[in-house]
Amino acid sequence: MKQYDIAAYIWPAYTGDEMRTRIFWPEGMGEWQSVKNAEKKFEGHTWPRKPLWGYVNEADPYVMEMEIEAAVDHGVNVFIYDWYWYDRRPFLENCLNDGFLKAKNNGKMKFYLMWANHDAVSLWDKRTSMDGATVIWDGGIDRKEFERAMTRVIEKYFKLDNYYTIDQKPVFMIYDVPKFVKGLGGVESAKEAVEWFRSACVKAGLPGLHLQFTMWNEGVTNVSGVDGEKNVSARDFGSVGFDSLTHYQFCHFADIDRNYEDVFEDVKKEWAKIDESMPLPYFPHVSVGWDNNPRFIGFKPGIMKNCTPENIEKALREAKKFIDAHPSLPPLITVNSWNEWTETSYLEPDDLYGYGYLEAIKRVFLKEAE
């Protein structure tokens, strides 16, 4: 029976244990505050929604033990934790450190990190989100700070038995490559930093590093203008030192203000284009939906419609076909997400579809393989 690695992103903001979150969500329950207070914006809007598990603290190991069981039972066997480094220190690590890593059953699944190195902006604060994105913390860091942060990542996470690897090398994803390059001072400096990162992994006794980048659209995933006269697009990122790519969200490259079926037709075309033109291997990505109105008091246009479990199941089948057609690739499929409630792209059960999304994954990757 072929095994597939179904990796769901985790947005680690559903806890109040990180004190710096109180500037965005003062009720002390993390971004559950925005979910709990979400309102219907128009007739037919599918909000408000409620989590069947309640507004649980995902930095609680007992909560995560329950979530791990539910994930594994339905075929989700990898969590990709959004990981942050702001103001010379980590941010929102509680869900990983205190929840997942202290759960007694965490050996049942793997995890890896996606460095969400975008700026932290006022968008997270519903009281001010309609006023525009004011930068709270800059996501870019220089070489000295990069070495400091990555040394911590190597020592704290990469050597754990359940850290996800490709060819035995720990996988680490970078979300905003232009920000990464800019912070380090340009393409050549970024290449040197990546070389240092790889050597630091080897020095720590690891076989190396598998560096992954988050693909947006060609115009966004581009560092042209960041490094003087150099013109470096996503097609050239292998020379920077990356090993593979995937997506984080359909909204990064597709017009999502349509029915899910129509959006996914464009997604399949994007997969084919990347497969043909990119020199690096691509791991297919499936998003569950998009509607970030819970983060705003007023109406925010741009909603993916008909994101039913049936339509998500069709998308998952296409991702499975993609992987099966590339037998040399590790069988990795990324999914947005486990718990992006305020972007309406989550697998966790709710009062609208119940366990529908998780059951869809189970049908595609577990039941049919029996």
Picking from 329, 339, 345, the residue whose alpha carbon sits closest to that of residue 286 is 345
Nearest alpha-carbon partner for 206 in 169, 171, 178, 153 = 169
Angle, to 10 degrees, between the axis of helix 143-153 and the axis of helix 177-184? 120
169 touches 209 (CB < 8 A): yes
Packing angle, helices 187-203 and 143-153, rounded to 10:
30
Task: Tell me how far apart the alpha carbons of residues 155 and 208 are, in angstroms, rounded to a whole number.
Answer: 14
Q: Report the mean per-residue pLDDT for the chain.
A: 94
Full-model pTM: 0.96
Q: In whole angstroms, what is the distance from residue 340 CA to residue 91 CA?
A: 17
Q: What's residue 225's pLDDT?
A: 42
Tell me if the bond preceding 337 is cis, omega within 30° of 0.
yes
Cα–Cα distances (Å) from 110 to 79, 105, 113, in that order, read 6, 11, 11
CATH class of 5-369: alpha beta
Q: What percent of the chain has pLDDT over 70?
A: 94
Question: What does the chain come to in residues?
Answer: 370
Mean pLDDT of the 32-49 span: 97
Distance of CA 335 to the CA centre of its chain: 8
pLDDT for the residue 220: 56
**What are the structural domain ranges in the chain?**
5-369
- Kindly report, residue by residue over 89-103, the tens digit of the pLDDT: 999 999 999 999 999
Say if residue 43 is exposed, middle or buried (CB neighbours under 10 Å; 0-12, 13-18, 19+).
Answer: exposed
Question: Residue 239 has what pLDDT?
Answer: 73
Residue 127 has a pLDDT of: 92
Looking at the predicted structure, is the pLDDT value of residue 236 above 70? no
Distance CA 66, CA 322 (A): 31
CA distances from 186 to 84, 193, 226, 241, 292 (A): 21, 11, 6, 13, 33
Both tokens of residue 339? Answer: 């718990």
Using CB atoms within 10 Å of the CB of residue 316, give its burial: 0 to 12 exposed, 13 to 18 middle, 19+ buried.
buried
From residue 321, give the alpha-carbon distance in Å to each of 28, 219, 238, 241, 337: 43, 28, 25, 28, 20
